[in-house]
Amino acid sequence: MTRWAMVIDLEKCVACQGCSIACRFENNTPAVSPEQAARGRAIRWNDVFPFPVNPTEDTGEYPNVKARYMTRPCMHCENPPCTKVCPVLATYKDEEGLVRQNYSRCIGCRFCTVACPYGVRYFNWYAPQWEDPLALRLNPDRLESRGVLEGPAVRPKGVVEKCTFCIHRLAKARARAEAEGRAFRGDEYVPACVQTCTGKARYFGDLDDPNSTVTQLEKSPRAFRLLEEVGTHPKVIYLREG
Amino acid sequence: MHLATSYHPQNKHEDTILSPLRRITFVDRWLWAVLLGVMGLGAYAYSRQWVFGLGVTGMNRPVYWGVYITNFVFFIGLAHSGTFISAILRLAGAGWRKPLTRAAEAITLFSLPFGVASILIDMGRPDRVLNVIFYGRFQSPLLWDFTAVSLYLFSSVVFFYLSLLPDIALCRDRLTEAPLWQQRVYGFLAFGWQGRPEQFHRLERVLDGMAIFMTMLVVTVHTVVSWVFGMTVQPGWHTALIGPFFLLGAIFSGTAAVVIALAILRRVYHMQEVLTVSLFNSLRKLLIVFTLGWLYMMVAEHLTQFYGSLPDEMEVFWQKFTGAFAPLFWLMFLIVFVLPLIIFVFLGKNRIGWMVAASVLINVGMWLERFLVIVPTETRPRLVSTLMAGMGNYQPTWVEGAITASLFAGMVLLYAVFTRLFPVVPIWETAEAVEAETLPARPRRSLFGMRRSR
């Protein structure tokens, strides 16, 4: 079996937000106007934000700041609270551990968005729009079949979207291996954020493969997961700073 | 179609109760027009939401649920009025409930559709609502809701109709001067009811049986509504108390709504003789119990939260007690608990005006309470709570206001029209002698086919 996972080494992360931008262009995430963003409607599948060292304490004031940076894709939990509550199976965990989102089935009830403790799910409050030069350069990739629309396909208004671990790249890598008549290997595909990461802080691979980088790094004493106490068992593993 | 020899129970208030059905006044037409106007405004607001998307509301990330979901919970709660009064009090054998059963059940019947509508209005893709049927999965608490609420709606209609049946037959026979369409409706709906003793027997037994079923539904429906929140892991929602608390709140606001409806009917339709002050006093006692029960739940929930002091829970706790929602929270506490308790205990007895004032306060306050269960939790989600500076403040827009107003207008409109078409006090249930003189002497057949003699 395959269990796709990501390791993010916070020691190497420089908080450049390159992953956010790469994600946005790879996945056609719509940009919203500044006033909409101020109302909390920006869509950032891969968010980068200051994260307090101890969430129960004050973060302090400059220059005595106790803060670090955190980058956050979807955790692709082993036990996802979001998929449980979906009334129509528009979101589900597939056999490779990816938490999928089908835009053409989602009814927009936003139960998954309120159930996710990480806030990785975003809702299309309006139909997405792009300024002209951007509109001409949308990623044409999409996963589409009868009643299914996934990947970077432009979302209709009123549905929920989230990080897919660039599932269209996985599909393309599989197709390429098949066309070349060979078996698909786990290291043939990485999401756009991993490919672009300036500090090479992100690793991607198969947790069920004992020799993969992510499996090796998961054993590190620096490894931790976000909100482990909630019992979601995320497949995004962080490596602590220091 | 029917036999002219139908038997109707003797009720000395029959003319009083039927008098609203005999004419539609100028004020009625104005009221209906105004309510329709409000509904029209709501329809316009909804059309904008349909065309442009939910962006026209004030909802955002992380406040994904706002006024619409509050309305959903509130309307379903309001619906607990009728079933509580007629089913639970029927089982408890509280005879005083009889004159107000129908007025209460009508609240149930006419608020449930607007609860359902609230959910549909909240959907981002209302055009895909049938996906819930095609692809519905029962692991989702939303499907539990869907099932429970639709079952509740269906059973309420049946329960309501059955207890209305003898009175429809009465209307069919008495209101011979009504417009022809109205007489035809009565004739059709009466289903050839003749008022024979065994018909009344059978009706009573069916109503008793249904009352048991309805009582179970009352408990499950609002608990399931609360589980939409309780089943998530979010701080403030994920508590076992949320089910019982929602249920108590529902019966509380529902009973208060009955007081308001009864007082209006009593005044407008001159039913002082039928809807006596003693009825209001009985409701007052119930409401005192509910007010205290509400405080008990409130303390149980928040003291547990506060004493345990889990950091995530405390974020939500302080949002309510001292944070952005504190003014609303303390206002809610004042108008749900403090003022109503004072009014009911010290001022309410025999004074309908005071009781109505307290009931209005309770209902406004219970709407706020639902809002304060839903929104503060969303503004302090676990991970992002410390990160979203300046976010998570939710300001409903005029669209949400207009749609909410139209839902309430719709409920009042249905209620108002109903009171002009059907007797709002059950004539047969409040009659002095329900049955004809002679009871059937033959043994009655029990539910499971076993014979037993009376």
CATH architecture of the domain B14-393+420-434 equals Up-down Bundle (1.20)
Mean pLDDT of A165-194: 94
pLDDT digit string, tens, across residues B46-100? 999 999 999 999 998 889 999 999 999 999 999 988 788 888 888 888 888 888 8
- Under 8 Å CB-to-CB from A23, ≥6 apart: which residues? A29, A45, A46, A73, A163, A191, A192, A193
Round to whole Å and give the CA distance between B193 and B195: 6
Name the pTM for this structure.
0.92
DSSP-derived 3-state class of residue B445: strand
- From B64, B137, B390, residue closest to A87, measured CB to CB: B137
Residue A52 has pLDDT above 80, yes or no: no
Domain extent listing, chain B: 14-393+420-434
In the structure, what pLDDT confidence band is assigned to residue B327 with cuts at 50, 70 and 90? very high
Among the listed residues B280, B285, B317, the one whose alpha carbon sits nearest the alpha carbon of residue B100: B280
With left for phi above 0 and alpha for psi between -120 and 50, is residue A8 left, alpha or beta?
beta
**What residues of chain B lie within 8 A of the CB of A41, using their CB?**
55, 60-61
Candidates A74, A114, A229: best to mutate against B (most CBs of B within 10 A) is: A114
Q: What is the pLDDT of residue B196?
A: 83
Mean pLDDT of B392-407: 91
Q: What is the pLDDT of residue B3?
A: 47
pLDDT digit string, tens, across residues B273-285? 888 888 899 999 9
Domains in chain A with CATH codes: 4-239 (3.30.70.20)
Q: What is the pLDDT of residue B354?
A: 93
Round to whole Å and give the CA distance between B293 and B298: 9
Candidates A32, A39, A59: best to mutate against B (most CBs of B within 10 A) is: A39
**What residues of chain B lie within 8 A of the CB of A44, using their CB?**
none
Scan for tokens 């090479």, then name that residue.
Answer: A200
pLDDT digit string, tens, across residues A85-141? 999 999 999 999 999 999 999 999 999 999 999 989 999 999 998 888 888 889 999
Q: What is the DSSP code string of chain A?
A: ---EEEEEETTT-----HHHHHHHHHTTPPP--HHHHHTT----SSEEEEEESSTTS----TTS--EEEEEE-----SS-HHHHH-SSSSEEE-TTS-EEE-TTT-----HHHHH-TT---EE-SS-----HHHHTT-----EEETTEEETTSPPPTT-EE---SSHHHHHHHHHHHHHTTS---GGG---HHHHH-TT--EEEEETTSTTSHHHHHHTSTTEE-TTGGGS---SEEEE---
pLDDT digit string, tens, across residues B22-50? 888 899 999 999 999 999 999 999 999 99
Q: What is the pLDDT of residue B315?
A: 87
- How near does any CA of chain B get to the CA of A157, in Å? 6
Percent of chain B, pLDDT > 90?
58
Q: What is the pLDDT of residue A222?
A: 94
Q: How many CB atoms lie within 10 A of CB A226?
A: 18
Candidates B125, B225, B377, B395: best to mutate against A (most CBs of A within 10 A) is: B125
Lowest mean pLDDT of A172-181, B213-222, B286-295, name the range: B213-222
Mean pLDDT of B386-412: 83
Round to whole Å and give the CA distance between B67 and A202: 41
Q: What is the pLDDT of residue B433?
A: 61
> Exposed (0-12), middle (13-18) or buried (19+): which is B409, by Cβ within 10 Å?
buried
**What residues of chain A lie within 8 A of the CB of B61, using their CB?**
40-42, 113, 119, 122-123
Residue B444 has pLDDT above 60, yes or no: no
Check if the interface score ipTM surpasses 0.95.
Answer: no
- A110/B62 touch (CB, cutoff 8 Å), yes or no: no
Please count the residues of chain A.
Answer: 242
pLDDT digit string, tens, across residues B174-210? 888 888 888 888 989 988 888 888 888 899 899 989 9
In this structure, what token pair is assigned to residue B134? 């095609």
With beta carbons less than 8 A apart as the criterion, state whether B108 and B83 touch. Answer: yes
- A160/B129 touch (CB, cutoff 8 Å), yes or no: no
